Amino acid sequence: MAAQNETRVARPRGGVTIPAIVLALVVALGVVLWQRGDLNELICDGDCGPSNVIPPRSLTTDSMPDPMGPARASVGEIDPARLSAAVRDGLRASVLGPRVGFSAISPADGRELASFGSGTYIPASTTKLLTGFAALSLIDPQASFTTRVVQQGERLMLIGGGDPYLATVIDKKSKRVERADLATLARRTAASLTQAGVTTVRLGFDASLFTGQAASPSWESTYVSQSIVTPVSALWADQGVVGGARAKDPAADAARRFADLLSKRGVAVTGEPAAGRAPAGAQTIAAVRSAPVAQIVEALIGTSDNQAAEVMLRHVALAAGQPGSFDGGTAAVVDVLTSADIDVTGLVLRDGSGLSRSNRIAPRTLAETVNVAATTSRASGLMSDLPVSGFTGTLVDRFASLTTSLGTLRAKTGTLSGVHSLAGFALDADGRPVVFALMADRTERAAPLVAQAALDRVAAAIATCTCGS
């Protein structure tokens, strides 16, 4: 797109009128297409992600402490009766089934404006909001995780640091998150060995940072066997995926890939890489660092990345002094929420991704997590990570038929068979902010898109409501 402040060459006025109009139209059209996300395929080779999207005007007001967070009311308060009336019919849609929960909160004071249903619900991937909030609350958002190689004589040990996005080689098309890669680690390792005159090594690998089970017993038994998820590990490359299949032992798979990369750099690796612990006193000879935690959370929220969420759950556990396991991580998340005065009534967590159907979360817990994150300096980045309706992440293909709601809300999605949820915030027709959570966990499994559209209509009803008191 041409810059709008280019140097101009004077010409007769009549000679430039038509080209100028055409140029203005092209510029205007380009801006509209960019804001709508229609140029993503050309510019970003797919969804450009929240950080590259021009925020819709309805989500940026002068009163917002954070440009992408729910503003404190500046155009009057929300009338609870009007809000309830706006969503009532949508919540009763038969396609959503008999178990529907809703909670709406005022960002100004945290009071509940409207509610529907009772108890807790299967949250699906809205669980990641709790994981992301805990991660940003306990871990420095600029911290990163290190994958390193240590040497003792002719023995090397590849040590996993829990980098959820460690790659085999850098993918230049990846715009969502910076990635450390094994190819760079192998190059640095080979350079150090060559300088020391070492040309042949034995290789081991250490993935002991995380403990406990690699797959949750509360997951469907087919998740691992059918390559739906990779067993959680502190060491993997490309999340253990090779040719579309997921490794059953991702740490061993990463070590084999690393050995191949060393061989291509002139370092011979004898035997098969063996699991073990790094020997005391071994010298670090090469390392690569992950993207910062803030960027990792942005990616896992925007794309609803189950693998990254489970890795971050373990980092939350370690930051809280708990074992790096499912149990340690979920206990740490509950502690973080409780410390933040978030209502955890009925909360049951079995994982960090929401794959478990044993998870139970109340809509109010989700809504309060969003609201508290917006006013907490360390966790406020969670607001800008939420997908924008019709623009980014898991909402990029939703709300298409609800044109008045495009770009008027941000929310994390949750989807399992028969389960649909949304949690985030919306601005009503006059710009009043509403934090909300919407959950349905007994929808018709044969019509998931219909149920999803019904859920979107409820959220859209908030965005199109003139709900002022």
Q: Give me the active site residues, please.
A: 125, 128, 304
What is d(CA 337, CA 176) in angstroms, rounded to the nearest whole number?
Answer: 27
Q: Which long-range contacts (CB under 8 A, 24 or more apart) does 22-25 make?
A: none
Q: Which long-range contacts (CB under 8 A, 24 or more apart) does 224-227 make?
A: 224/248
Strands 200-206 and 155-159: parallel
Residue written as tokens 């002719």? 154
429: closest CA among 405, 393, 399? 405
407: closest CA among 66, 54, 52? 54
CA distances from 54 to 48, 173, 387, 430, 433 (A): 11, 21, 13, 20, 19
Alpha helices, H only, 203-264: 222-225, 250-264
User: First vs last Cα of the chain: how many Å apart?
Assistant: 44
| Amino acid identity for residue 67 in this structure | P
What is d(CA 60, CA 133) in angstroms, rounded to the nearest whole number?
Answer: 22
Q: From the CB of residue 122, how many other CB atoms can be counted at a distance below 10 Å? A: 25
438: closest CA among 129, 137, 133? 129
Residue written as tokens 């002991």? 208
Is residue 76 a contact partner of residue 469, using CB atoms and an 8 Å limit?
yes
